[in-house]
Amino acid sequence: MSNAGATLNGLEGKVAVVTGAGRMRSIGRQVAVGLAGAGCDVVVTGSGRPPEQYPPEEREAGWRDVDSVAEEIRAAGRRALPLAADVADLAAVQTLAERVLAELGRVDIVVNNAAAARGEDRRPVVDVEPELWEKVLAVNLTGTFFVCKVFGRKMIEAGRGGSIVNVSSIAAKRCDPNNSAYAASKAGIQALTACMAREVGRYGIRVNAVCPGLIDTHRMDDLSRSDAWRSAVGAIPLGRAGTGDDIAHTVTFLCSDEASWITGQTWNVDGGTVIH
């Protein structure tokens, strides 16, 4: 992967697993394609949603979830393995890991990007239904834990080191009202990242987190370029919403040899919205 004359090393021939990578306008898709462009073979996972649940823009484009992302990876000259996987189900994650090793022979990079959709949990704590709270934490936090646990063990057993990047959010640092379940789940990811980094460093495995700010993806379409959207963009010091590529560039760097002395860190990628 080259950028302004700089080359990222150590990614050629590596196998990366990217969860939550099936949406057309998403962070996961861009991370998967970015890693392929840097030389990785990529496992792309999604929830296995049926086509009738695709948004109109995906249906109009003939989008086919992780299969479409896999085509982009293959077009970049790399191997791709598209799979449906429920990260909140430990048995499903174990099956995913076995399938990856059986078909691609190794795993070097894991990017935990799968997340629960924005929904009715976005309300005051006293009004959040317990089942909604549990659903958000099951996917965002417990799912990340399951993937770290299962793939981390495989990396330790292989003895080749590796890199895990967990996608958190600046929401965990801003702690805005009506955001408790999401913010708590993402704050948990940051704690999980820091603890695991200290545990697996001796095996040459690095664990970091990325905190995206306002990213222009399908997840934010409920704002529909509303006054709230324009206000949020206006509050960003760099004056624009982020893109999936903005996150993908950071993730790819963190997985490269150039980041070989970076672990246990949480990086904001948010146009300057949060300065800590």
Residue 193: partners with Cβ closer than 8 Å, 6 or more residues away: 164, 166, 168, 207, 208, 209, 264, 266
- Residues for the chain: how many in total? 276
> Does 203 qualify as catalytic in the annotation?
no
The single residue of 63, 145, 146, 182 carrying the catalytic annotation is 182
Measuring CA to CA, which residue among 64, 28, 24, 59 is closest to residue 44? 28
Helices (H), 159-225: 171-174, 180-200
CB 265 within 8 Å of CB 208:
yes
Neighbours of 253 (CB within 10 A): 19
Residues serving a catalytic function are: 182
